[in-house]
Amino acid sequence: MLTFIVRRLVSGIVLLLVVTCGSFFLAHLAIGDPTPGLLGNSAKPAQRQALREKLGLDRPLLVQFWDWFSHAVRGDFGTSWRNFQPISEQIGLRVPVTLSVVLTATLLAALLGLVIGVASGRRPGGILDRCLKFASVVLFALPGFWVSLVLIMWFAIQLRWFPAVGYVSPDESVLGWLRSITLPSIALALSAIVMVAEQLRNGFFEVANQDFVRTLRARGLSTRRITVHVLRNASPAALTVLALTFVGLLGGAIVVELVFNLPGIGTLTQSASQIGDIPILLGLTVVTIVFVVIVNFLLDLVLGWVNPKVRDQ
Amino acid sequence: MSAVYDPLVALDKNARPIPALAKSWKYSADHRELTMHLRVGVRFSDGEPFDAAAAVANLRHLKTGTRSGEVYRAVESITAAGADTVILGLRKRDDALLYFMGLGRSWMAAPAAIRAGTLAGKPVGSGPYTLDTAGTTSGSQYTFGKKRRHWDSGRYPFATVRLFPITDQTASLNAMLSGQLDVNYANPMNIPQARQNGWNIASKVATSVGIQFADHTGKRLKPLGDIRVRQAICYAFDGSAILRAVASGAGTVSDQLFPVGEPGYEPGLDRRYAHDLARARQLMAEAGYPQGFPVTMPMSQPYQQLQPAAEQTLGQLGIRVSWQNMSQPDYQKNAPTYPMFLAVLALDANPAATVVNRITSRSWYNPDPSVNAFPELSRILGELGTAAGDRRPELIRRLDTALVGLAWQNVWYQADNTYFSVRGIKVTPITGMMFPTLRFIQRG
Amino acid sequence: MTAPNRGPLARFLRKPLGLGALIVLLAVLLLAVFAPLLSPYDPGFVDYTITHAPPSAAHPLGGDSAGRDILSRLLYGAGSTLYGAVAACLTGVLLGVPSGVAAGYLGGRTDRICSWISDGLQSVPGMVVLLIVAAGTGVNFTVIMVTVGVFTAPGYYRIARARAQAVRGEPYIDAAIVAGIGTPRILGTHLLRAVRAPVIIQSALAAGLSMAMQAGLQFIGIGTTEPSWGEMMNDGFRTMLSYPLILLWPSLALGITIAAVAFLGSTLADVVNAYTREGEPRSGTVTVPREPSGTLRHAEQDCALRVRNLRVGYPDGWVVDGVTLDAARGEVLGIVGESGSGKSQTVFSVLDLLPTAARTSADSIRIGGREVLGLASGARQALLGTEIGYVPQEPMTNLDPCYTIGYQLTEPLRAVHGLPKAEARQRARAMLGRVGIPDPDRVLAAYPHQISGGMAQRVLIAGAVAATPGLLIADEPTTALDVTVQAEVLELLRELRAEYGMTLVIVTHDFGVVADICDRVVVMKDGAIVECGDVRDTFRSPADPYTARLIAASLDDTPGRAELDAAVRS
């Protein structure tokens, strides 16, 4: 088990390194020389050179990378090219917002997806199953922000149960925090619930049709006990779906944060992208990937615990 | 800002400077020295007293700031004379100084906090409210509680003020609809909605919308040096149609840089370039460009709404635009390198401020003032520099007429800023202020 | 066997949903291609009078917030939507399919490296990388959609790899290798053909995803300067409270297109899956009811099992049709037949373990002398693991991979028979010893993947016998095992039968097994019994030519069914 943990951890760190390096070089190659954008076309070559020196862009790319990287591992992502504010601070303020929404949405997707998926997997072709299939196509076809808008219209404007925009920190008011993240989380989770449910349905169905389930029934075990066996066997697929859902929701959060005007990393990503602030984007990439790696690692641990075969491979 | 800080100078609803922390002021005869007498007994929320030394520290700090520094360009010296008097020495006469100070360039902060550089995170002022950190989530919601004692307490009727920074207008309208907001900066398109909800609607012209000619002498784009080409462009644009289409009609069609209804504005001038495509084409032909000419213009997201109108109308004159896309901050940096570009620029209720902001001083939208190339302009501006108060309105009028005649800028219309407020709260918009300070948000 | 003589395409066209989706998609494609001809106006043409205009005769869908004709922009936008989807899918296919095929076919290091990259790619939020790319390249639409395509590649990779792995074992690939055809050509011809269908289905999914992604990007202000649905939705979003129609049109267009793609994909998947299923050997189906077949040999009170006129049907026909048979206490009955003869269906209906889609009817089913036909399913269930034991065919797939052998043996003893934990464990240990496992403690602690097939089959037999049932049903208990192990397992069954006095029903296709262990034999073909009798008599003088053929086949050195099965299934 220990070697298993170490191996997964190493694999996660390697992934983190590869993606981080990849995005650093991708970003720098894609943007080329940022100084005309930062200073304007009319800037004199000397001014540009001065700025390049100030930003450290005059050095070879590898040196720049090392400088950035050696700071980044200590959690220092440098300063923004635009407003020269420390990036780690900006991201740090925004991470709780995004995590609140994304984790709540993932949790919602997991719980509701599990219930719906298992229920419809037990009766393939039943009403619930058909509803699920239909809902999955409809939600797949609906643009993401639509759901957000409908939720705002109904629950915020008509019923006034929840705020239409904004985020309240839990330090300030736990109830306010819950109210502020409810609608965004639901908007984000809705399509994920259906996706998770569908995958779980298929997974459940697949496992339920495996030979050993018939043998367990032939041994006289009750349906409830057999369901435990099926769920445990279906859980690796389910957990994998959940991890992928988390990754997907991190991306999907951008649109939801915009519509709900949440000060999360999604809106920061969007604005940084629009103004071409590469250091912020790189910091955001690293932070996002760190989350993904952590989630994947936890997932691997659970998988190894659930499925002995994974441990031994 | 207006919750936590008091200004030295405030504006009344006609944008005239009125006393705030400065109780009174007086210019010397040659307008080179401004003496301000300060209010006594005011304290910052950290307990420091407000006095001449604090005011001097603040003004010096403001003078070094990038944006506020512009306002104090003409200020040469800032000195305290006694405990409650400040004297500003000016390099030259500056008729816009008090207006700009009132517009929000004279907020007074506690000197200790200025020295510590912590104002951005923890504002310390003498204003009517203090930031309530318990009700504040950075980037999303700021809560201000009213102080028990303030020298102008009666002017601020609300016990708490909550501020939500919302950039997206649909989101802010949603917030207003859901009862989260009482006042918002609105898109005039939604005025019918506001009526339906029984909200108060307040509008006032705030910006000029059109094409900025950065190259009046034809240095970079020869045709623009020809007055007929600039006039042709002015004739070609159908300002009222664009106003109706793009801004839901919230604004006034005008050719001028002086805001409608404010000093300096000349109603008669607005028909100078009534939409006339035939005349525009004729002028182009007379100038020697019957087939038009190619031009490159910058483009950025906030201007995308105007892009189709510009492209199509210029195309009717044969002026073929190739657009260069860039991000919004890059636009301000790069626009000055283009001979002409789309611009939405703030208007000023004070004519002296308009002259400085729009004509004589160098800025991103006015990279090359080049007034000296136009004798008529430089003559009027020269006279303005020394003229006595009673001659000024006449001179401004002449300047305005000259500018319109020269087709100095291509203004399509002046757009309103619109504010919605729930019943019981009234907003008084001020031309020049993006969002009115708290003193202009009253019960009623 | 009813081999379908229609191709998947014809079957697809008969599905209304799929056909409808295809028509919608083709319509969108045609509209996009002919947009310049069909559009009433230039999509960029500004007519101030139609700003926010409601639909009218001249502008069927009205005007947008800049005064442009919405219909024209919608038509032009279709082009960029489809172009983006195609660019993304093409990128995904070009990256994912060749690498997936190579990884699946070559295995080893290639597989490990490619799979690692694919997994890594999947764990990167595409949106963030897209925003980096967009920040760098401005608004180059093709670059952005190609990047979207990169993130669809893992989906292609996985299906291509799985298909290639499956095809790798096919005889024709071996034949190609023997014939000296080089690896690149095998990859190029055979494997690409094998992955074609799933790749097309995956493309429907990927196309839908990339359209949604594209609209999302344009919605947040990244993408084209050309007319596009996402940008139109952004315009609609800004004006939605006052002019909701502006938001409605592009949303409708996008929603319908994506839904069409999704339905197209799911219908294709249904068709292809049904097609491949029908290609496999399956139970023959007969629609006309036949006369009952088979006879009863023993008196009712002597029987451990007695079935009269059993019929098992599925929606498309009967697979067991009027079977009558019995087995006396202590007797060993063999049910023999080729796959599809209905022999397994017969015993599963006795066990009441048929799939939910199956319907059964019978005049009588008696187990241990008791009529079970009218019993509630709960009471029927109660017979399992007590009266009846069951030994399955494939040892490895019949143990739950997530639990230890010990848990799987003790769970029924505790849950069904109410034994305390320690006693159950003692019993399981003893049973393992009894079935000839030399090191019971190690096996009890082991997981199924840690033991051999022969040992697993012994574990399953131990599990079946632990409850000392009166009737033990073994479904091809030796087929999946090595020849030497086969003999040992049969020997074990024989011993256990003698020891516990059980009735043993063995289902097999192999007359060798019958000869080895059975007292009596029932021969089944196409859901009916063609012959039954004493083993010795049947061997000596088979009454039916089919029986004779089966006997001859088992004497020949033909490949075992396991190999055939494996070849067919892959």
- DSSP track, A149-206: HHHIIIIIIIS--S-SS----TTT-HHHHHHHHHHHHHHHHHHHHHHHHHHHHHHHHH
Q: Which of A65-74, B282-291, C203-212, C504-513 has the highest mean pLDDT?
A: B282-291
Does B328 sit within 8 Å of A261, measured CB to CB?
no
Residue where one domain finishes, among candidates A14, A39, A72: A72
Which of C41, C45, C48, C72 is best to mutate for the B interface (most B CBs within 10 A)? Answer: C48
Selecting from C221, C263, C392 the residue whose C-beta is nearest the C-beta of A215 gives C392
Report pLDDT digits (tens) over C192-248: 777 777 888 888 888 888 888 888 888 777 766 678 888 888 888 878 777 888 888
* Domain shared by A155 and A11, yes or no: no
**For the whole model, what pTM was predicted?**
0.78
For chain B, the first-to-last Cα distance in angstroms comes to 23
CA distance B212 to B229: 14
Residue C2: per-residue pLDDT: 39
CA distance C145 to C164: 28
Burial of A261 per CB tally in 10 Å (0-12, 13-18, 19+): buried
- Going through chain A in order, the beta strands assigned E by DSSP cover none
Per the listing, tokens 């057999």 go with A226
CA distance B234 to B229: 9
CA distance B133 to B58: 25
Q: With beta carbons under 8 A apart, name residues in chain B contacting C45.
A: 312
Residue B279: per-residue pLDDT: 93
Residue where one domain finishes, among candidates A11, A37, A72: A72
Any idea which of B32-41, C176-185, C212-221 has the lowest mean pLDDT? C176-185
**Residue C301 pLDDT greater than 90, yes or no:** no
Does B246 sit within 8 Å of C66, measured CB to CB?
yes
CA distance C150 to A310: 28
**Residue C464 pLDDT greater than 60, yes or no:** yes
Q: With beta carbons under 8 A apart, name residues in chain C contacting B325.
A: 138-139, 225
* Domain shared by A21 and A99, yes or no: no
Residue A310: per-residue pLDDT: 65
* Domain shared by A116 and A220, yes or no: yes
- A293 within some domain: no
Residue C4: per-residue pLDDT: 43
* Domain shared by A104 and A65, yes or no: no
Which tops the pLDDT comparison, C39 or A275? Answer: C39
Is B101:B17 a contact under the CB 8 Å cutoff? yes
Is B411:B101 a contact under the CB 8 Å cutoff? no
| Strands B142-146 and B160-163, bridge-based pairing | antiparallel
Selecting from C48, C66, C241 the residue whose C-beta is nearest the C-beta of B193 gives C241
Report pLDDT digits (tens) over C314-341: 877 788 888 888 888 888 999 988 877 8
* Domain shared by A37 and A94, yes or no: no
* Domain shared by A152 and A258, yes or no: yes
Q: How long, in residues, is chain A? A: 313
Selecting from C68, C139, C237 the residue whose C-beta is nearest the C-beta of B170 gives C237
* Domain shared by A116 and A255, yes or no: yes
Is B38:B85 a contact under the CB 8 Å cutoff? yes
Q: Is the ipTM of this complex over 0.85?
A: no
Q: Is A220 left (phi over 0), alpha (psi -120 to 50) or beta?
A: left
Does B135 sit within 8 Å of A37, measured CB to CB?
no
Q: Residue A251: which of C131, C204, C237 has the closest Cα?
A: C131
- A302 within some domain: no
Residue B413: per-residue pLDDT: 93
Instruction: Kindly indicate the confidence band of residue A124, based on its pLDDT and cuts at 50, 70 and 90.
Output: low
Residue B37: per-residue pLDDT: 93
**Residue C91 pLDDT greater than 90, yes or no:** yes
CA distance A244 to A259: 23
* Domain shared by A271 and A125, yes or no: yes
Per the listing, tokens 């919601």 go with B141
Instruction: Kindly indicate the confidence band of residue B191, based on its pLDDT and cuts at 50, 70 and 90.
Output: confident
Q: Inform me whether the C-beta atom of residue B325 falls under 8 Å from chain A C-beta atoms.
A: no
Contact residues for A187 (Cβ-Cβ < 8 A; gap 6+) = A144, A147, A148, A151, A256, A259, A260
Type of residue found at B204: K
Residue A110: per-residue pLDDT: 87
Average pLDDT over residues A19-45: 73
Range of the domain at A262: 90-275
- A305 within some domain: no
Does C237 sit within 8 Å of A220, measured CB to CB?
no
- A85 within some domain: no
**Residue A244 pLDDT greater than 70, yes or no:** yes
* Domain shared by A132 and A269, yes or no: yes
Residue C6: per-residue pLDDT: 54
**Residue C553 pLDDT greater than 90, yes or no:** no
| Strands B17-19 and B9-11, bridge-based pairing | antiparallel
By three-state DSSP, how is residue A89 classified? helix
Residue A43: per-residue pLDDT: 66
Q: B235 to each of A234, B229, B281, B322, B410, how far by Cα in Å?
A: 72, 10, 9, 22, 9
Q: Residue A100: which of A163, A161, A189 has the closest Cα?
A: A189
Q: Residue B186: which of B172, B166, B199, B207 has the closest Cα?
A: B172
Average pLDDT over residues C460-489: 83
**Residue B251 pLDDT greater than 50, yes or no:** yes
- Domains annotated for chain C, with CATH where assigned, are 8-33+79-225+238-275 (1.10.3720.10), 290-387+471-535 (3.40.50.300), 398-468 (no CATH)
**Residue C285 pLDDT greater than 70, yes or no:** no
* Domain shared by A173 and A94, yes or no: yes
Average pLDDT of the residues of chain B:
87
* Domain shared by A111 and A232, yes or no: yes
- A131 within some domain: yes
- Chain A nearest CA to C137, separation (Å): 6
Q: Which of B208-212, B368-372, C549-553 has the highest mean pLDDT?
A: B208-212
Residue where one domain finishes, among candidates A72, A105, A129: A72
Report the percentage of chain C scoring pLDDT > 90: 4
**Residue B336 pLDDT greater than 90, yes or no:** no
**Residue A42 pLDDT greater than 70, yes or no:** no
**Residue C560 pLDDT greater than 60, yes or no:** no
Q: With beta carbons under 8 A apart, name residues in chain C contacting A133.
A: 266
Tokens of C164: 């290639």
Q: With beta carbons under 8 A apart, name residues in chain A contacting B330.
A: 37-38, 40, 275-276
For chain A, the first-to-last Cα distance in angstroms comes to 11
CA distance A111 to B80: 69
**φ and ψ at residue C18, rounded to 5 degrees:** -65, -45
Average pLDDT over residues C271-275: 63
Which of C42, C51, C132 is best to mutate for the B interface (most B CBs within 10 A)? Answer: C51
CA distance B36 to B79: 11
CA distance A294 to B44: 47
Give the B-side interface with C, CB within 8 Å: 169-170, 173-174, 177, 187, 189-190, 192-193, 238, 241-242, 244-246, 248, 301, 305, 308-309, 311-312, 323, 325-326
Any idea which of A44-58, B337-351, B379-393, C318-332 has the lowest mean pLDDT? A44-58
Report the percentage of chain A scoring pLDDT > 70: 91
Contact residues for A263 (Cβ-Cβ < 8 A; gap 6+) = A93, A94, A97, A167, A257, B137, B138, B139, B140
Q: With beta carbons under 8 A apart, name residues in chain B contacting A178.
A: none
Domains held by chain A: number: 2
Is A145:C219 a contact under the CB 8 Å cutoff? yes
* Domain shared by A185 and A246, yes or no: yes
Q: With beta carbons under 8 A apart, name residues in chain B contacting C237.
A: 170
Type of residue found at B344: V
Q: Which chains touch A (3 or more CB pairs under 8 A)?
A: B, C
Is A234:A204 a contact under the CB 8 Å cutoff? yes
Residue C437: per-residue pLDDT: 86
Residue C8: per-residue pLDDT: 65
Burial A125-151 (b: 16+ CB within 10 A, else e): eeebbeebbebbbebbbbbbbbbbbeb
CATH number at residue A211: 1.10.3720.10
**Residue C566 pLDDT greater than 80, yes or no:** no
- A244 within some domain: yes
Is B48:B75 a contact under the CB 8 Å cutoff? no
CA distance C424 to C429: 9
- A306 within some domain: no
- A285 within some domain: no
Residue B294: per-residue pLDDT: 93
Does A82 sit within 8 Å of B337, measured CB to CB?
no
Q: How long, in residues, is chain B? A: 444
Report pLDDT digits (tens) over B276-320: 999 999 999 999 999 999 999 998 878 888 888 899 899 999 999
H, E, C per residue of B78-93? EEECCCCEEEEEECCC
Which tops the pLDDT comparison, B400 or B166? Answer: B400
Q: Which chains touch C (3 or more CB pairs under 8 A)?
A: A, B
